[in-house]
Amino acid sequence: MTRLNAKAFAIIAALSAIVTTALADTIYPIDRASVIENGRFDFKVEFDKQIKSDDFRILINGKDYARVFGKKGEFIANEDELGASSLVVRDVFLKNAGAYAVEVKALGKTTKVNWSVFAPQKLPKAKNVILFIGDGLSVAHRTGARILSKGVSEGRLNGRLATDDFPYMAFIGTSGTDSIATDSANSMSAYMTGHKSGVNAMGVYVSRAKDSLNHPKQETLGELIRRTSSKSFGIVSDAEIEDATPAAVVSHTRRRADKSAIVGMLYDLKPDVILGGGSAYFLPKSTLGSKRKDEIDYIKKFQDDGYALAIDAATLKKTAPKANRLLGLFHTGNMDGVIDRKILKNDVTKKFPNQPDLTEMTTAALEVLSKNREGFFLMVEGALIDKATHPLDWERAVYDTIAFDKCVEIAKAFAAKNPDTLIIVTGDHTHGISIIGTIDDSKAGDDMREKVGVYADAGFPNYEDKNKDGYPDTPAVSKRLAVFVSNFPDHYETFRPKLDAQFTPAIKNERDQYVANEAYKNVDGAVFREGNLPRSVDTGVHSVDDMIVQATGPGGEAIRGYMDNTELFRVIADALALGNEKR
């Protein structure tokens, strides 16, 4: 092609792209979707205007869609009064692996997408899969956890994290259908369904439906396990258990805030182990602390279905050995982090003084799930890494990364006795957090900025772990890490750990804008930092940077190079040979 031709071709291509987008109908699942054989999904076509029920044809590999799916869809002439028609076929599947070309012909135009359907593995590689999600887990969290937990001298670490000897590793891209920047809902949803989704959504494609519970569904890993295997599965998180990451194992909603509905979805699918915070959405409206708008008592419902109930660390320890199904709810909201519970023992944990540690929840979950001879899938989320990094509180985030690492250690000990176990450790997205050196209080003067040591001047921090529990005895040492984030609202930088409670960098003013929280203005040496985020944002935000995934055990060899987040679904399904007919 000559240069001129190439240019002309580019213009024509650009024009035709514009023309097709302007007139395109939308098809769900979207182009390049990958589905397991017989995997369930909702098929939806959104026409760009109102049409009649015989104005269109839908062909899948040249055959009428109703023949391929074995049923006709529901034609909606004017969907949600939006002035456009839709066709929805619920709960369909494709029987044979291969390439599928989907064509929608309506009023003289054609819209096309391609799907690929993959066959399940005939034989499992692993009996159990344990998936660890460090919410927001970035490289700096891992580096910080190594330095604080193990120590560093003459440039070498004095110990390693649990994942540091894992043989398999990859970068993961976390972008969604609507944006390069993801949240925990759609990123976890990609792992749990193998489909892309958008911010705030899980287990569904983001369509134009107005009802958040009426979007085209994608089968979740939890559902696939129930439909095609006799394995157990469990969900553990130190966040509210109906929060995005744990919820994405089972649920379908456009809005992660549908927490009451999500508890209902948890109940419908009944994971064998459910441990975390968030009891407020399990309690009937009339009970103190409830956030439900109805009188359904989900704790009672689970108990009636044979679940043992744990309400604190002691009952968890007592019930787990005997239970086959276990519900543990230890906080009305998110649970409290390690630094407040174990180190500072401040007022934060007064409300729920006997919460179990994430390590104790991991041990209990493994105890219950491993009773099933068919094996299990367990998801453990270290949620507080993210919950602390958002408000720029890196000490809390790193202490919780250490706790998370201890959970991986527990899983490694389990896998040592049960070598048919695949352990995968990753996060759902990253934060713009970085370690650049140290802050040394002994340096002369009052200007905290001059106490920041970089390059040779940074030297090494002086954290101590005298009781050898893996956590520095206090984060408030005289020479500590200098950790900064790339994005923030207006706030006061104090250069010091927050010992009373988690940092609240910004609060709302009367114009609904987030401004620096004056409570930190008079901390010794605090300086004002003008935000670089929109004023509607109250904390630091997720970064688009790659996530790192590591794995050990059978099936882990599929993790390498660069992967899209949707590919992790197949790694898990393949390892457990999910998708075959139930034995």
Min separation Cβ 135 and Zn ion, Å: 6
Q: What is the DSSP letter of 111?
A: E
CA distance 133 to 236: 10
Min separation Cβ 249 and Zn ion, Å: 17
As given in the structure block, the two tokens for residue 554 are 């059978």
CB under 5 A: which stretch of 140-148, 317-325, 383-391, 449-457 binds Zn ion?
Answer: 383-391
Verify binding: residue 490, Zn ion, rule CB under 5 A.
Answer: no
- Whose Cβ is closer to Zn ion: residue 129's or residue 388's? 388
3-state secondary structure of 228: helix
Question: Taking CB positions, which residue lies at the least distance from Zn ion?
Answer: 386
Verify binding: residue 393, Zn ion, rule CB under 5 A.
Answer: no
Query: By C-alpha distance, which of 41, 101, 47 is closest to 75?
Result: 47
- Whose Cβ is closer to Zn ion: residue 403's or residue 575's? 403
**Beta-carbon count within 10 A of 436 CB:** 14
Within 8 A by CB and 6+ apart from 156, the residues are none
**SS3 annotation, 148-201:** HHHCEECCEECCCCHHHHCCEEEEEECCCCCCCCCCHHHHHHHHHHCCCCCCCC
- Whose Cβ is closer to Zn ion: residue 424's or residue 433's? 433
CB under 5 A: which stretch of 148-156, 266-274, 378-386, 441-449 binds Zn ion?
Answer: 378-386
Q: Which residues pair with 273 in a beta bridge?
A: 234, 326
Min separation Cβ 266 and Zn ion, Å: 21
Verify binding: residue 386, Zn ion, rule CB under 5 A.
Answer: yes
Min separation Cβ 187 and Zn ion, Å: 10
Classify residue 444 as exposed, middle or buried by CB count within 10 Å of its CB (0-12, 13-18, 19+).
exposed
- Whose Cβ is closer to Zn ion: residue 340's or residue 386's? 386
Min separation Cβ 90 and Zn ion, Å: 32
- Whose Cβ is closer to Zn ion: residue 201's or residue 368's? 201
Q: Which residues pair with 560 in a beta bridge?
A: 169
Min separation Cβ 503 and Zn ion, Å: 15
**SS3 annotation, 376-402:** EEEEEEECHHHHHHCCCCHHHHHHHHH
HSE (side-chain half, CA atoms, 13 Å) at 24 = 16
- Whose Cβ is closer to Zn ion: residue 266's or residue 383's? 383
- Whose Cβ is closer to Zn ion: residue 240's or residue 386's? 386
CA distance 1 to 9: 9
CA angle, residues 414, 415, 419, in degrees to nearest 5: 140
Max Cα-Cα span within the chain: 81
CB under 5 A: which stretch of 26-34, 189-197, 379-387, 567-575 binds Zn ion?
Answer: 379-387
CB under 5 A: which stretch of 1-9, 384-392, 515-523, 566-574 binds Zn ion?
Answer: 384-392
CA distance 428 to 242: 16
Distances (CA, A) of 375 to 57, 371, 395: 45, 8, 37
CB under 5 A: which stretch of 114-122, 261-269, 386-394, 460-468 binds Zn ion?
Answer: 386-394
Min separation Cβ 431 and Zn ion, Å: 8
Classify residue 5 as exposed, middle or buried by CB count within 10 Å of its CB (0-12, 13-18, 19+).
exposed
Min separation Cβ 390 and Zn ion, Å: 6
Return the residues of window 290-319 that contact Zn ion according to CB under 5 A: none
Min separation Cβ 562 and Zn ion, Å: 23
- Whose Cβ is closer to Zn ion: residue 427's or residue 497's? 427
- Whose Cβ is closer to Zn ion: residue 133's or residue 206's? 133
Min separation Cβ 25 and Zn ion, Å: 34
Contact flags string 213-252 toward Zn ion, x per CB under 5 A: ----------------------------------------
CA distance 70 to 80: 27
Residues that bind Zn ion (CB under 5 A): 386
